[in-house]
């Protein structure tokens, strides 16, 4: 878990190679942030992802996968640059975002995938 910008706890799950296949199987869209500790743009994106996780709790499942610690999943999905965000619906990739995006632009990339209510 991480803190959102206002100090509240956001629900972001650390995902591993071992649990990945199960984690992406959800009725809700699933956003996975592929990152590494040494990656400056990843560190810039992390609080944005945490804020979205908190704001969209109940509509979006959010996880982070460290590519250094979990190379199998990163290779399986062809992650060549980080940060990369993959958005899954029912276990299938429906959208990919590579690089840092400001919160508003990331919200726009997610908007049509989220439930209306």
CATH number at residue 95: 3.40.30.10
> Catalytic: 42?
yes
In a domain, 99, yes or no: yes
Q: Average per-residue pLDDT in the chain? A: 91
| Catalytic residue selected from 24, 30, 42, 45 | 42
In a domain, 67, yes or no: yes
Q: What is the pLDDT of residues 31-44, one digit of tens each?
A: 999 999 999 999 99
**Containing structural domain, residue 73:** 2-111
Please check whether residue 30 is in contact with residue 24, taking contact to mean a CB–CB distance below 8 angstroms.
yes
For residues 41 and 87, give the distance between their C-alpha atoms in angstroms, rounded to a whole number.
Answer: 19
Q: What is the pLDDT of residues 53-67, one digit of tens each?
A: 999 999 999 999 999
> Catalytic: 17?
no
pLDDT tops 60 at residue 51: yes
In a domain, 116, yes or no: no
| Catalytic residue selected from 15, 39, 86, 106 | 39
Percent of the chain topping pLDDT 90: 88
């Amino acid at each position: 878990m991480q803190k959102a910008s206002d100090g509240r706890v956001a629900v972001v799950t650390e995902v591993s190679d071992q649990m990945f296949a199960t984690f992406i199987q959800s009725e809700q869209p699933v956003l996975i942030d592929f990152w590494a500790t040494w990656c400056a743009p990843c560190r810039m994106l992390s609080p944005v992802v945490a804020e979205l996780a908190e704001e969209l709790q109940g509509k979006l499942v959010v996880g982070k996968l460290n590519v250094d610690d979990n190379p199998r999943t990163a290779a399986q999905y062809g992650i060549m640059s980080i940060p990369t965000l993959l958005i899954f619906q029912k276990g299938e990739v429906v959208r990919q975002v590579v690089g840092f995006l400001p919160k508003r632009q990331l919200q726009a990339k997610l908007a049509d995938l989220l439930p209306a209510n």
